[in-house]
Structures are given as structure tokens and as C-alpha cells.
Chain A
């Protein structure tokens, strides 16, 4: 099946620093990727849709200046958490649909962000 990777798998940073998370589709191209945030024992909350070659679409309540998304190529999307604070600590997961349809989503392994 299709593989989506994320890097890093975990990161610990000081408050006020910025953290970049990469999401890659390893064996297929993805013009669209999705970024989710997941708190412990909670569901996946969609943050934004990353579109190759154009601006990301953010869900209501998600600050686009706080969570910068860049879809630089057909296989790479990055999420940068700017000026991170402890409340940004969470599990961030990306997903990419296989093929033209978004029915089948493949998830990355997730990135555990801890802000001290």
C-alpha cells in the first residue's frame, strides 16, 4: 500500500521557538495533503488542507500565521508551528489521498510535539 512518512517522529522544544514537521508521500504523488491535530484520547481534528502550488485552506479557528503550511512539491508538505507554546503540545498527523479521489487516506506516523 501507499506510504506516508513524517519527520521528526517526536520533538521537544522551548517555548517561543519554531518547529517544522515534514510529511512525505513516498511512493505516490499527492496534490493535496491534510494536517490533523490529536490530543490524548481524543479524535483527529482537521487543521488545514495543504494544496500543492497554492495556499493552504485552514479550518475555522486555526491560525494560519501560527501554523504555516507549505506544499513545496507533489510529495512534500511541511507544517511549521511558529513561536510554539505549551498549549501547542500535541500529536500532529498528516494524511494524503491516493490517486485522484480522496476516499482512501493514508496517514503518516505522526509527530509528537512537546513544548516546554
Chain B
């Protein structure tokens, strides 16, 4: 089955800095890669996703890059703000059908004001 590795487990940055979270996956058939943000005690919420036919996707301060050959994808947050502090999960799955996403272990991002 799919195995998703996520690094780092904790990331501490100053407000205004950039933050990068990296994930690798093992199943070359995976072609859908969502990122979720989970604030303490709340539900995970989809913040951005990318499909394997695209190398990069951007939404305001958030961007995701995908390297299919190396089987890794990354989340980039620019101009971080304290409200970006949360746990971020990456996931990988095969799009369509009933395949279920495999989640990374999560990265706790702390943005210091």
C-alpha cells in the first residue's frame, strides 16, 4: 500500500518568514495530493490540492509543488502569520474509484509574532 512520509514534524518560524513542509510517497499510481490544515481540537480542512498532471499550484500565500519522478510534493507558505499556526497534513491517493487517501504524520507549524 501507499506510504507517506512527512517532514519536519515541528516547524517554528517568525511572522513574515516562509515555511516549507515536505512529503514523499511510495505508490507511483498516486495522482492526487491534498493538504489539510487542522487547528487544535478542530476538523481538518482542505487548503490546497494538486493532481499529477500539474507541477505547481498556487493560491495566494500558499503553493504546492509536485515532483512525480522523485515522488515528493511540498507545501509552501509565504509571509506567514500567527493564524497559520496549526498542524498540516499531506495525503496521497489514486484519484477516482474508492481509493482512500493515506495521510502523512503531520507537521506542527508555529508562527511567532
Query: A38–B1 Cα gap in the complex (Å)?
Result: 20
Q: Does chain B have a CB within 8 A of A87?
A: no
Contact status A102-B45, CB under 8 Å: no
Q: Identify the stretch in B14-22, B54-62, B104-112 within 8 Å (CB) of chain A at 4 or more residues.
A: B104-112
Q: Would B32 and A32 count as touching, CB distance under 8 A?
A: no
Give the secondary structure class of B's interface. Answer: loop
Interface contacts (Cβ under 8 Å), in number, total 51
Q: Which residues of A contact B113 (CB under 8 A)?
A: none
Q: Is B25 an interface residue (CB 8 A)?
A: no
Known: A46-B100, A108-B43. Contact between A103 and B95, CB under 8 A?
yes
Asked if residues A101 and B43 are in contact (CB atoms below 8 Å), the reply is no
Residues of A within 8 Å of B, CB-based: how many? 20
A105 to B106, CA, bound (A): 17
Residues of B35-78 contacting chain A, CB below 8 A: 36, 41-46, 49
Tell me, yes or no, whether A49 is within 8 Å of chain B by CB: yes
Tell me which residues from 24 to 47 in chain A have a Cβ below 8 Å from any Cβ of chain B. Answer: 32, 34, 41-44, 46
The reply to whether A44 and B44 form a contact with Cβ atoms under 8 Å apart is yes
What 9 A-B pairs are tightest by C-beta distance, nearest first?
Answer: A107-B43, A43-B105, A109-B43, A44-B103, A107-B44, A43-B103, A43-B106, A103-B32, A103-B95
27 A-B residue pairings within 8 Å (CB atoms): A4-B43, A32-B98, A41-B87, A41-B106, A41-B108, A43-B89, A43-B106, A46-B100, A49-B100, A93-B43, A93-B44, A101-B95, A101-B96, A102-B93, A102-B96, A103-B34, A103-B49, A103-B93, A104-B46, A105-B34, A105-B101, A107-B36, A107-B45, A108-B43, A109-B42, A109-B43, A112-B41
